[in-house]
Structure formats: structure tokens, C-alpha cells
């Protein structure tokens, strides 16, 4: 059995079994234990273990589809932005027959979690404010009379543990040809509990599927304000979040909702604001993901209102570490000054992904890291902490760092997001590109012209058809193959490795000077001995 669950009648606490590679989750529920949910979870995990013996497509159908929060309509849970559960967007497409994957780099977001502390406080305040009414006119609001807030903060939840576990199963099923006893996945993590636990659960799933390989975490990178960490966006103190644009949009979409809710409350001492509405809507995904049941807060809002909620989260991601931070001219150089789209407080989001991209380029080309931004050279110059001879690399991180990496590479380069009106045609939809447990997979492929007469052409109409031969790169985000037009990618998503490297001029130039404006003063690259000492005192004993 893949997982052992220990529980008391009024508490469900998911712990890792030290011998069987079970799930790790620190979140604890204080609602009454529901045996049918336990049974459902066990059935799902049995399906996962069995699915290792069947095809990738059958496994995805049997497990990943069943692992969704099926009791919540998809058109609701897929409007929760970065709070959406991981969901299958596309069946993995095998490489063309003349190509084989010889290296994969996976950048992985942690699994589903409880709210961050600041959001927790704001949510509690908004709920308490609305509960001061003497009554409610609408039926869907009656639950508030007896509602008690019981969410914690920050920790990974059961669903988050399962998401990472199934991702490990998926990785071995797909890339088992890259693994043997001398080539285990090389895993790095940003040093936060939910990230570390996600990595360990991924490893447990990988082990369960392989039945023999249990990859260990090789490198933990501190998240302190002066640590050089390419897996966390803490190295640019002069960068600004997208709060201004989010507030602007929230005032537009949520004020009518606030008016509706205030009208439905009897003798409410203080009216809800638009920001209160935003935090009440946030209760829907957090409650649903945590308790694995449809939160009554979801019923307070309709589809149109959730579309506004999703767009607010899209704006936050876009204006914090997305493209708006560095508007580029057709020559690839940054446009500064009055041509910044929304003022001088932007410009330093995209550069926070440069360090990781330069590490990625080093792995793809088997060359040492060349970077002048946030890489830790003590780690990256050491073959034990940054090897170049592995076939599978897995890095666990957070949402904002990953969006910075997307932007630095050139993915999801959408038309700008207007903070006064929803951009309906945008490709920057955080529910799709950054749900919990998101993974970006960068595959390096060796292609040879062994399929006679087969030709391929680029997305560009001006590129002649030609045979594939040599090293190529393919990028998938949540199993969706990306169109790499910026490096002449073809219609099957493949781009010549040399052209991909050439296309990463922003990263290779250390952000064209953007990083110099970050105001970052590192304390010095942490030594390996200091890192080891830090780990022994800060890493919780989770069993793996």
C-alpha cells in the first residue's frame, strides 16, 4: 500500500510512513472525520500504483481525472487562479518517432496549501465583519449563522501531498528510460516546509512506481533575504508587487458584489468593501481544497463573479513577476522611462527568473553556469551540488518564481492585461499556467533523420521545410506543449537547442541591466559547511 493514514475520530492528520514512502502533510482538519473520504483516497492511490503498469494515457485517465475535486464544478474550480487544484489540460504527447528525450528539467510548484498568513488574517477579518449581521435574506448565506473559521496557514494540505505524489508517479512513468542506479533524479528545493514536503512526496511517488529508486533531496537553498536562491523571488528588494493594478480591478468587479451582499444582510453594522468580497471569495478555494468538500462560500458567487476573481489573481502574477515588468522593443532591448506601461514602479519582475534560466542553459549545454544575478556560485560551481551529468533534474519552488521564469524564457507572452477590463484573449491565465503543483518540463531531445521523407516546418511561413537532425528542446507546461516561436520552433513544439540558447539573450545578458536596479546586497554565497549546519537545525524530521 502506498500510504498509511493515521487518524483520530475528530482529527485527520496525514503523516509519512517511514518504511513505505507515504504522503507528508502538516495540515490538520478539526472537522469530523468522514470515512467515505478516507475510502475514496485509498481507492485513488491504489489506482495510481496499479497505473504504473499501464500506459501513460491510461494512467492519466484512471488517476489524474479521478484525483480532481469532482464534487466541485470544473467551471468553478478552474477560475481560482493560482489557488486552482492541478488539473489535466492535455494528454502528454510523445516526442516524434525520430527523437528521444535524453534529459529533462522539471521546475515544480509545491502542492495545494493553506492560505499565507496575511491572507488568513484578511479572510478571518472579512468573515467576522459579515457575520456581525443579525441575519441574512438569502438562503445561500444562512450557513454564516453557525460558521466557524478553522483554516490554519501556510502548510501543505492532503490534496497537495497527493498532487506531488502523483506527479512523481507520472515522472517515472514518462521518463523511466532516463533512470538507473547511477542516474537518479537530482532534486533541489527552496527551503520552505511546503516545498520540502512536496519534493519528498514526489520522491515517494517516484519510488512507488519504480519499485526500486528513491531519489533524495540533494540541495536545500535558504529563503532568507540575503541568500542567493534561484528557486525563490527574494533577491530583488526594489521590485514592486502588482497590488496597484489588483486593487484597481477589484474595485471595479467586486463593488457590485459588495452591494448585493450588503443588501442581503440584516442590520449589518459595517458594510463590506470590494476588498472584503475578494477575501470572502478566497474562502471558496481554500475551504474546498482543505476539507475536500464544496465550501458554502462558493455558493455565494456566480460564474461571472469568479471570472473577475480569477482576473484579479492573473493581474497580481502578471504585474509582480510577469511581462509587464519589462516591456521589450522589437530588438529585444528593454524600453524604459515613460514607455513603461503602468508607471515607474514596475520593471524588476522578469529579471528574477534569470538565474534559474541560466542554470537551465548550463544543464542543457553541459557547461558551467554563467550568471551575474542571483545564482549561488558556491553551489553552482561544485559538481556535487550542481552536477552536469544527470539526465533528470527536478527543482521545487513557488508560483512567483515560476512566473518570473516563464517571462524570462519568453512563454505566455500575451497582450497586456488591462486592470480596468478583462482581457478575454489572454494566454496568461494563472488557473492554467500556475495551479497548485504546476510543473514546467524542459526536454532535451536527440533527433536523427531516420524517418525517410519526413519533413517539418516552423510556425513561421518564411522558414523552409527541413529534416530534423541534432539536439532539440521542447517545453511543456502542465503537459501542454508550448509553441516556441521565439526560437523558430516547429509545429510539434521542437526548437533547435542552439537556437533556443541564442533566444535567451535576456538571461544570458543578466537581464540587460535590470538586475543592477534590484538593490540586492547578498551576504556572500553560503558555504557548503554552513548550508549543512543550517539544514540540520531547520529541516523538520519528516521521515524520508
Using one digit for the tens of pLDDT, what is the confidence trace for 45-83? 545 545 555 444 454 444 444 455 667 888 899 999 999
Mean residue pLDDT across the chain:
83
pLDDT higher than threshold 90 for residue 455? no
Paired residues of 445 in beta bridges? 101, 472
**pLDDT tens per residue across span 216-247:** 999 999 998 778 999 998 888 888 888 999 99
**pLDDT tens per residue across span 89-118:** 889 999 999 999 999 999 999 999 999 999
Which pLDDT belongs to residue 32? 40
Q: Residue range 444-453: average pLDDT?
A: 76
Greater confidence, 87 or 60? 87
Which pLDDT belongs to residue 27? 52
Nearest to 268 by CA among 131, 123, 122: 131
Which pLDDT belongs to residue 68? 57
Range with the lowest mean pLDDT among 189-193, 217-221, 378-382, 515-519?
515-519
DSSP string, 359-382: HHHHHHHT-----SSS--HHHHTS
Chain centroid to CA 469: how far? 33
Which of the residue ranges 29-43, 85-99, 383-397 has the most confident prediction, judged by mean pLDDT? 383-397
Apex 456 CA angle, 452 and 457, nearest 5: 155
Q: Residue range 336-341: average pLDDT?
A: 31
Active-site entry in 78, 87, 108, 110: 110
Which pLDDT belongs to residue 220? 97
Residue 421 to residue 252: CA distance in whole angstroms: 9
Greater confidence, 401 or 36? 401
Three state DSSP letters for 271-334:
CCCHHHHHHHHHHHHHHHHHHCCCCCCHHHCCHHHHHHHHHHHHHHHHHHHCHHHCCECCCCCE
Q: How confident is the model at residue 259 (pLDDT cuts 50, 70, 90)?
A: very high
Instruction: Given CATH 2.60.40.10, say whether it is the number of domain 79-113+156-234+347-450+468-517.
Output: no
Q: How confident is the model at residue 15 (pLDDT cuts 50, 70, 90)?
A: very low
**pLDDT tens per residue across span 283-298:** 999 999 999 999 999 9
Which pLDDT belongs to residue 471? 98
Which pLDDT belongs to residue 503? 98
Which pLDDT belongs to residue 89? 86
Q: Residue range 309-314: average pLDDT?
A: 98
Range with the lowest mean pLDDT among 53-57, 305-309, 372-376?
53-57
The model carries a pTM of: 0.84
Residue 303 to residue 384: CA distance in whole angstroms: 50
Which of 311-330 are b and which e, b meaning 16 or more Cβ less than 10 Å from the residue's Cβ? Answer: bbbbbbbbbbbbbbbbbeee
Whether 110 is catalytic is yes
Element (H, E) at 141: none
Three state DSSP letters for 231-243:
CCCCCCCCCCCCH
Nearest to 207 by CA among 62, 482, 16: 16
Domain residue spans of the chain: 41-70, 79-113+156-234+347-450+468-517, 117-148+240-341
Amino acid at each position: 500500500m502506498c500510504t498509511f493514514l493515521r487518524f483520530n475520530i475528530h482529527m485527520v492528520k496525514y503523516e509519512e510512513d517511514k518504511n513505505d514512502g507515504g504522503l507528508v502533510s502538516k495540515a490538520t482538519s478539526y472537522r469530523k472525520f468522514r470515512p467515505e473520504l478516507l475510502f475514496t483516497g485509498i481507492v485513488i492511490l491504489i489506482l495510481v500504483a496499479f497505473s504504473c503498469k499501464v500506459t501513460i494515457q491510461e494512467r492519466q485517465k484512471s488517476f489524474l481525472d479521478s484525483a480532481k475535486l469532482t464534487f466541485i464544478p470544473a467551471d468553478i474550480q478552474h477560475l481560482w487562479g493560482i489557488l486552482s487544484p492541478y488539473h489535466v489540460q492535455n494528454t502528454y504527447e510523445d516526442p516524434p518517432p525520430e527523437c528521444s528525450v535524453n534529459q529533462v528539467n522539471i521546475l515544480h510548484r509545491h502542492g495545494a496549501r493553506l492560505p499565507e498568513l496575511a491572507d488568513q488574517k484578511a479572510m478571518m477579518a472579512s468573515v467576522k465583519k459579515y457575520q456581525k449581521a443579525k441575519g441574512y435574506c438569502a438562503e445561500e448565506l444562512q450557513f454564516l449563522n453557525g460558521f466557524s473559521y478553522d483554516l490554519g496557514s501556510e502548510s501543505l494540505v492532503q490534496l497537495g501531498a497527493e498532487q506531488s505524489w502523483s506527479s512523481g508517479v507520472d515522472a517515472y512513468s514518462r521518463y523511466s528510460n532516463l533512470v538507473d542506479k547511477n542516474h537518479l533524479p537530482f532534486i533541489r528545493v527552496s527551503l520552505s516546509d511546503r516545498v520540502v514536503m512536496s519534493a519528498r512526496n514526489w520522491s515517494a511517488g517516484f519510488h512507488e512506481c519504480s519499485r526500486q529508486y528513491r531519489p533524495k533531496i540533494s540541495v536545500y537553498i535558504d529563503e532568507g533575504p540575503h541568500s542567493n536562491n534561484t528557486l525563490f523571488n527574494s533577491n530583488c528588494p526594489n521590485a514592486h508587487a502588482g497590488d496597484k493594478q489588483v486593487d484597481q480591478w477589484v474595485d471595479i468587479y467586486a463593488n457590485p458584489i459588495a452591494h448585493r451582499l450588503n443588501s442581503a444582510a440584516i442590520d449589518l453594522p459595517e458594510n463590506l468593501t470590494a476588498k472584503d468580497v475578494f477575501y470572502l471569495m478566497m474562502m471558496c478555494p481554500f475551504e474546498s481544497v482543505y476539507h475536500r468538500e464544496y465550501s458554502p462560500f462558493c455558493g455565494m458567487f456566480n460564474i461571472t463573479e469568479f471570472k473577475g476573481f480569477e482576473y484579479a489573481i492573473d493581474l497580481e502574477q502578471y504585474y509582480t513577476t510577469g511581462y509587464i515588468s519589462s516591456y521589450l522593443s522589437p530588438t529585444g532591448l528593454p524600453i524604459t522611462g515613460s514607455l513603461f506601461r503602468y508607471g515607474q514602479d514596475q520593471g524588476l519582475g522578469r529579471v528574477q527568473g534569470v538565474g534559474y534560466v541560466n542554470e537551465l542553459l548550463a544543464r542543457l549545454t553541459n557547461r558551467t553556469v554563467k550568471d551575474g544575478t542571483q545564482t549561488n556560485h558556491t553551489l553552482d560551481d561544485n559538481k556535487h551540488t550542481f552536477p552536469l551529468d544527470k539526465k533528470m533534474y527536478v527543482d521545487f519552488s513557488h508560483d512567483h518564481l515560476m512566473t518570473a521564469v516563464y517571462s524570462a524564457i519568453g512563454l505566455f507572452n500575451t497582450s497586456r492585461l488591462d486592470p480596468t477590463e478583462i482581457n478575454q484573449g489572454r494566454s496568461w491565465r494563472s488557473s492554467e499556467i500556475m495551479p497548485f503543483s504546476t510543473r514546467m518540463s524542459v526536454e532535451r531531445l536527440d533527433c536523427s533523420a531516420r524517418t525517410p521523407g519526413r519533413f517539418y516546418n516552423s510556425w513561421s511561413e518564411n522558414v523552409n521545410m527541413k529534416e530534423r537532425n541534432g539536439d532539440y528542446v521542447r517545453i511543456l507546461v502542465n503537459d501542454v506543449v508550448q509553441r516556441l516561436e521565439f526560437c523558430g520552433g516547429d509545429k510539434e513544439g521542437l526548437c533547435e537547442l542552439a537556437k533556443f540558447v541564442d533566444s535567451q539573450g535576456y538571461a544570458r545578458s543578466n537581464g540587460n541591466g535590470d538586475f543592477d536596479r534590484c538593490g540586492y546586497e547578498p551576504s556572500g554565497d553560503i558555504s557548503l559547511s554552513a548550508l549543512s549546519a543550517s539544514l540540520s537545525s531547520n529541516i523538520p524530521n519528516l521521515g524520508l
